[in-house]
Amino acid sequence: MIKPHGSDVLNPLLVEDPQLHQQLLTEAETLPSLLLNSAAAANAVMLGAGYFNPLTGYMNLADALSVAENLHTVDGLFWPVPVVNLVEDVSAIAGASRIALRDPNTAGNPVMAIMTLSAIETVSDAQIETMTQQIFGTLDPQHPGVATFGHLGRHLVSGDIQVLNLSYFQADFPDTFRTASEIRNEIAERGWNKVVAFQTRNPMHRAHEELCHMAMARLGADGVVVHMLLGKLKEGDIPASVRDDCIRKMVELYFPENTVMVTGYGFDMLYAGPREAVLHAVFRQNMGATHLIVGRDHAGVGDYYGAFDAQTIFDEKVPAGALEIEIFRADHTAFSKKLGRVVMMNEAEDHSKDDFVLLSGTKVRQMLGDGIAPPPEFSRPEVAKILMDYYQLEG
């Protein structure tokens, strides 16, 4: 199986030994507490679940700036996006050496992790601006990722952590949320060697479904891991539970048995386009995938990124040998009226736009809200019904 990023074996930070877990929980009650924001909590989940291997905690300012500007830590570890704990108020933890990190997304704010504090550093507006520009490629406050990052706080709290729970993800998505270790184990149990990862924050329509089929066929892959984001999205995005139902129905009806794993991970969407695509590749390697599908405007939002920036970054910014995972480059995929099947548009000769079934996201949402199913060439009827039921309920 493909090696994890940066180490020979995966080293998740979740404490699974029952005795040590209880010992740390007891210690946590005696420690100063820091209530995390959702972004820092999501980082803790990813560290605990092994997705951010080989990191051992939150980055300090030097590493965060180095990663933002150069895509590697001060010590040279390739990494595309700073993994930080930015805080507004640090008065409660001043002078502490060990602190309890509490979950902002679960009732009662239970302890998520214990941190051995390395440093509390003040981040200047100029440094925040530098990181924002490098990560998101823009300073526009209308960009949802920029808006979030700019309001997390100006104190950077760094240090190694021991993770005690993975927030609400295991309870809310027991059949879907999986750690990187669990996915690796299941890949081994299924006997898969070549494994394609498909990233999604949306329900999967025909184009996405066919893209997975294409990637498996062209790569000679044993299976695909549909890996959906279960954390926070921007307003208007479809909730994870609805997406989960749609994807499971599609897999049940339109994929051969033992070719798809439907899984999810606990992270808040960054909408960072190219940089987030590389982060996706890093943690898909950690979960055991050999290939990641990267399509048009992967992890993008609005018009902030070029259609294929998330592919070209792997050529221009990722050093040779930095990652073992490979990307499967995909163009926009749509149903060809001429050929009677879904194709990559750049591979369809003698086609104009009118030869494809193309619907904007706005148009699809409007149709679903009005109780009108999109054409079967665009969305499977069984998937469309789940979405129509959701929009009718919301409306």
DSSP string of 223-267?
Answer: EEEEEEE-S---TTSPPHHHHHHHHHHHHHHHS-TTSEEEEEE--
Strand 333-336 relative to strand 356-357, pairing: antiparallel
CA 93 to chain centre: 30
- CA-based nearest residue to 50, from 244, 288, 271: 288
Q: In the 3-class helix/strand/coil scheme, how is 164-214 assigned residue by residue?
A: CCCCCHHHHCCCCECCHHHHHHHHHHHCCCCEEEEEECCCCCHHHHHHHHH
Q: 79 with 58: CB under 8 angstroms?
A: no
Dist. CA 372–CA 377, nearest whole Å? 14
**Could you give the maximum distance between any two Cα atoms of the chain, in Å?**
70
Please report, in tens digits, the pLDDT of each residue of the chain (395 residues total).
Answer: 999 999 999 999 999 999 999 999 999 999 999 999 999 999 999 999 999 999 999 999 999 999 999 999 999 999 999 999 999 999 999 999 999 999 999 999 999 999 999 999 999 999 999 999 999 999 999 999 999 999 999 999 999 999 999 999 999 999 999 999 999 999 999 999 999 999 998 888 899 999 999 999 999 999 999 999 998 777 777 888 899 999 999 999 999 999 999 999 999 999 999 999 999 999 999 999 999 999 989 999 999 999 999 999 999 999 999 999 999 999 989 999 999 999 999 999 999 999 999 988 788 888 888 889 899 999 999 999 999 998 887 76
Dist. CA 240–CA 312, nearest whole Å? 29
Determine the pLDDT at residue 395.
60
* Fold assignment, 176-265+273-394: Rossmann fold (3.40.50)
Q: What angle do CA 50, 322, 146 make, to 5 degrees?
A: 65
* Fold assignment, 18-167: Sulfate adenylyltransferase (3.10.400)
For CATH 3.10.400.10, the residue range(s) in the chain are: 18-167
CA dihedral (233, 236, 241, 242) in degrees, to 10, reads -140
Determine the pLDDT at residue 365.
82
CB atoms within 10 A of CB 23: 12
Determine the pLDDT at residue 111.
98
Strand 98-102 relative to strand 341-344, pairing: unpaired
Task: Give me 92's structure tokens.
Answer: 């409660």
Determine the pLDDT at residue 209.
94
For CATH 3.40.50.620, the residue range(s) in the chain are: 176-265+273-394
> Which residues are designated catalytic?
201-202
CA separation, residue 387 to residues 74, 167, 205, 367, 373 (Å):
46, 27, 11, 10, 9
Listed in sequence order, the residues at least 6 apart from 227 whose beta carbon sits closer than 8 Å to its beta carbon are 183, 197, 198, 199, 200, 263, 264, 265, 284, 287
Task: Give me 84's structure tokens.
Answer: 């930080």
Determine the pLDDT at residue 368.
85
CB atoms within 10 A of CB 196: 27
Determine the pLDDT at residue 361.
78
Q: What angle do CA 322, 324, 330 make, to 5 degrees?
A: 105
